[in-house]
């Protein structure tokens, strides 16, 4: 058995991040971002402007980062603005105020943070956060356009409650979301840029009556891991999610309940996709008859429920696949390879990922998995580890 795709393993850890903080109220979230960075076992150096110190203290940040925090009083012969940008792999500016954006776009280097920006020869990602009118102001928009054209990654603020008391566009993403954007830039490969990936994930609920359904324990984690990894590699993602809460930051989410709804959603988005990953645990059967009112037990003995087969979404898509790459999953309890190869052929898939759902520390609910990828030539590749890590490696194999 081959195991080709070991390169890029652990690419998220031990990264060197320079974090710039300017003076906006969203700076209160930054200690949590520093914790996110440290949780990933990455190193972080911090530069903050004088006005950022009104919102979060250097002491808090240096305690969390385990390092001295640089402020304007460190702007001396040791040239920290140059040394820090030479040390780092990425410069993250969060929150980025209208004032700091304006300086970045116009080459003004009047403090340590803006001087570091001018000296930086590394990828830069900025998270503007401000009042909605300040964000919409033509000079802010012009500055953002200038920065984008120069290759700076701009992550626009989202809608939400703002410090000024209104709801509007100006909210900085949450720390875990910022980290995802940072990792997207840091990804060792962006070989799915421009590609569109449609993913099904999670369980379906096949309702018998308004309060009861047939389902399975799928958590949707493997599908989301495939989505996140493709997103890190640069792809655009649409995820068709069964009844489960998923981490969907950066994805377009289409929520469905039953297999029939999932089938409709897949058909409606089929043309859009270059890759279709079918990771959902689709119910194979639904109740032959849906009871519009709650089924009562009084006066009944045993209750026999008649079931009818749901469409096999993967197989139906396999019939019309054209040049799309189809990746399916096989959840098995015995004869893993044999069953998976038979599904790959029967459903006209390009790849199938098979796992033993009875194995310890893998499968449903777990953050870990052991998977075999099988292609149309029946080559096998083994992957084991965190779902998100193995999803990244699996995609590497598929792309190659
Ligand atoms: N699948 C699907 N529609 C279904 C059932 C399964 O699209 N009604 C897809 C799954 O998303 C997965 C693949 O088909 O990608 C295999 O699913 P699995 O449940 O392992 O197999 P089944 O085809 O349902 O066969 P069986 O339950 O008999 O093993």
Q: What residues form DSSP beta bridges with 31?
A: none
DSSP 267-318: HHHTTT-SEEEE--B--SEEESS--SSPPP-TT--S-PPPEEEPP-HHHHHH
Q: Are residues 109 and 209 in the same domain?
A: no
Distance 341 CA to ligand 1 centre (A): 13
Give the Å distance between the CA of 126 and the centre of ligand 1.
Answer: 42
**Does residue 1 surpass a pLDDT of 50?**
no
- Judge if 118 and 225 occupy the same domain: no
Which of 330, 339, 363, when mutated, tests ligand 1's pocket best, judged by the most ligand atoms within 8 Å of its CB? 330
**pLDDT digits over 247-302, tens only?**
999 999 999 999 999 999 999 999 999 999 999 999 999 999 999 999 998 878 88
pLDDT of residue 400: 82
In a domain, 300, yes or no: no
pLDDT in tens, 334-357: 999 999 999 999 999 999 999 888
Nearest CA to ligand 1 atom 17: 330
pLDDT higher than threshold 90 for residue 178: yes
Q: Is residue 299 part of a domain?
A: no
CATH number, domain with residue 393:
3.40.50.10300
% of the chain with per-residue pLDDT over 70: 98
In a shared domain, residues 211 and 155: no
Whether residue 182 is found in the same domain as residue 213: no
Residue nearest to atom 8 of ligand 1 (CA): 312
Q: How far is the CA of 272 from the centre of ligand 1 (A)?
A: 22
Whole domain around residue 322: which residue ranges?
196-288+306-399
Measure the CA dihedral 28/99/120/157, to 10°: 50
**248 CA from centroid of ligand 1 (Å):** 23
Q: Which of 165, 155, 390, 117 is nearest to 250 (CA)?
A: 155
Whether the per-residue pLDDT at 228 is higher than 90: the answer is yes
Q: What pLDDT is recorded for position 358?
A: 80
pTM: 0.94
Instruction: Tell which atom from ligand 1 comes closest to the C-alpha of 310.
Output: 8
> What gap in Å lies between CA 243 and CA 215, rounded to an integer?
9
Same domain, 261 and 342: yes
On whether residue 11 sits in a domain, the answer given is no
Is there a domain that residue 294 lies in?
no
Residue whose CA is closest, atom 12 of ligand 1?
A: 329
- What's the mean per-residue pLDDT of the chain? 93
- Supply the pLDDT for residue 363: 67
Residue 168 confidence (pLDDT) above 70: yes
Q: Are residues 167 and 272 in the same domain?
A: no
pLDDT in tens, 119-154: 999 999 999 999 999 999 999 999 999 999 999 999
Does residue 210 share a domain with residue 182? no
Query: pLDDT band for position 5 (50/70/90)?
Result: very low
Provide mean pLDDT across the span 80-102.
97
Query: Is 295 within the bounds of a domain?
Result: no
Helical segments of 68-160, H only: 80-87, 98-106, 112-119, 132-136, 138-149
> Residues 395, 249: one domain?
yes
Question: Which residues form ligand 1's pocket by a CB distance below 6 Å?
Answer: 200, 259, 278, 280, 282, 284, 310, 312-314, 328-331, 343
Assign 3-state DSSP to the chain and report helix, strand, coil percentages, each to 5: 35, 25, 40
Domain stops at, among 159, 186, 213 = 186
Q: Which amino acids are annotated catalytic?
A: 164
In terms of C-beta density within 10 A (0-12 exposed, 13-18 middle, 19 or more buried), how is residue 293 classed?
exposed
Count the domains in the chain: 2
Identify the band that residue 2 occupies on the pLDDT scale cut at 50, 70 and 90. very low
The CA 282 to ligand 1 mean position distance, Å, reads 6
Q: What is the CATH number of the domain that holds 97?
A: 3.40.50.1950
């Amino acid at each position: 058995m081959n195991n080709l795709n070991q390169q890029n393993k652990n690419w998220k850890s031990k990264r060197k991040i320079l974090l710039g903080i300017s003076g906006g109220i969203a700076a209160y979230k930054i200690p949590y971002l520093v914790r996110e960075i440290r949780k990933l076992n990455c190193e972080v150096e911090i530069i903050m402007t004088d006005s950022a110190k009104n919102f979060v203290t250097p002491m808090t940040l240096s305690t969390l980062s385990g390092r001295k925090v640089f402020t304007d009083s460190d702007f001396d012969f040791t040239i920290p603005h140059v040394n820090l940008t030479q040390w780092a792999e990425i410069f993250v500016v969060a929150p980025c105020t209208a004032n700091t954006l304006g300086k970045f776009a116009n080459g003004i280097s009047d403090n340590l943070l803006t001087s570091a920006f001018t000296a930086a020869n590394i990828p830069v990602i900025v998270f503007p956060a401000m009042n909605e009118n300040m964000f919409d102001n033509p000079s802010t928009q012009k500055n953002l356009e200038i920065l984008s054209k120069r290759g700076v990654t701009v992550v626009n603020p989202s809608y939400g409650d703002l410090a000024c008391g209104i709801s509007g566009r100006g909210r900085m993403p949450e720390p875990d979301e910022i980290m995802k954007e940072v990792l997207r830039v840091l990804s060792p490969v962006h070989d799915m840029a421009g590609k569109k990936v449609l993913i099904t994930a999670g369980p379906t609920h096949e309702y018998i009556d308004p309060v009861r359904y047939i389902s399975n324990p799928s958590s949707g984690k493997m599908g989301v891991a495939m989505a996140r990894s493709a997103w890190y590699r640069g792809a655009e993602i649409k995820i068709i999610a069964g009844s489960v809460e998923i981490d969907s930051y950066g994805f377009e989410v289409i929520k469905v309940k039953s297999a029939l709804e999932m089938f409709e959603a897949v058909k409606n988005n089929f043309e859009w996709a270059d890759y279709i990953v079918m990771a959902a645990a689709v119910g194979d059967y639904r109740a032959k008859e849906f009871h519009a009112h709650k089924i009562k037990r009084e006066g009944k003995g045993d209750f026999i429920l008649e079931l009818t087969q749901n469409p096999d979404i993967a197989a139906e898509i396999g019939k019309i696949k054209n040049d799309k790459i189809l990746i399916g999953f096989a959840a098995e309890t015995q004869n893993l390879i044999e069953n998976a190869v038979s599904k790959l052929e029967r459903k006209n898939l390009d790849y199938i990922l098979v796992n033993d759902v009875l194995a310890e520390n893998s499968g449903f609910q777990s953050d870990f998995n052991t998977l075999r990828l099988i292609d149309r030539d029946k080559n096998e590749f083994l992957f084991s580890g965190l779902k998100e890590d193995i999803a990244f490696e699996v995609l590497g194999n598929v792309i190659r």
